[in-house]
Amino acid sequence: MSMSFRFPAPATPAPPLRGAAPVGHLEELPPVELCAILYLRGWCHGGAHKDRIGADFRLVLDAEGADAAFGRFGDLMSSALSGCRRPLMRHSVDCRCFGGDECAFAHLIAAAAGGDNDDAMLFACTLLRPAAAFDVVQQANALGPVFLRLARNARCPDGEIHRPSPSTMKH
């Protein structure tokens, strides 16, 4: 006597969401990491969110410096997004928590801003192909002073984001 089990095949397999699992709340982050995540989300969302990044840069830099920093940030994002080993997962712009990929990106930026190139490279290698990792770390190093100035002046996106209530959004 033999037994046979037949399971119906799933209609459409779910796409992998590696890197999107929530790992913390934005309220837990220091300002540099918070800026990095919010600017990553804003850049990828586009439109007015990108404009807000430029406006934030103009709050802590003169017009020429802000334009140059905005251009460097655009280069960094282009390199990071095109050099990923897999799609970079992120939460919605208004989500109060953050995922694993966003966390690695934030720590890459913070390590580079603090001059810790070894740690920045390790974080970059978790997200990027090796050829892209070095370039992204160099670009993050160039933007380090801007992120530190944003953090020091508490100009990182919205003051209210520093103490949000936990998210009730589903992921």
Residue 7 belongs to some domain of the structure = no
Question: Is the model more confident about 156 or about 33?
Answer: 33
Residue 168 belongs to some domain of the structure = no
The pLDDT of 16-29, averaged and rounded, is 87
Question: Residue 20's pLDDT is what?
Answer: 87
3-state secondary structure of 19: coil
Domain of residue 139 covers 24-159
Is the confidence at residue 162, as pLDDT, over 50? no
For helices 100-113 and 130-152, angle between their N-to-C axes, nearest 10 degrees: 70
Q: What is the pLDDT of residues 117-139, one digit of tens each?
A: 999 999 999 999 999 999 999 99
Residue 153 belongs to some domain of the structure = yes
Residue 74 belongs to some domain of the structure = yes
Residue 164 belongs to some domain of the structure = no
How many domains is the chain built from?
A: 1
pLDDT above 90: percentage of residues in the chain: 75
Phi, then psi, of 142 in degrees rounded to 5: -65, -30
Q: Hey, what amino acid is at 68? A: A
Residue 102 belongs to some domain of the structure = yes
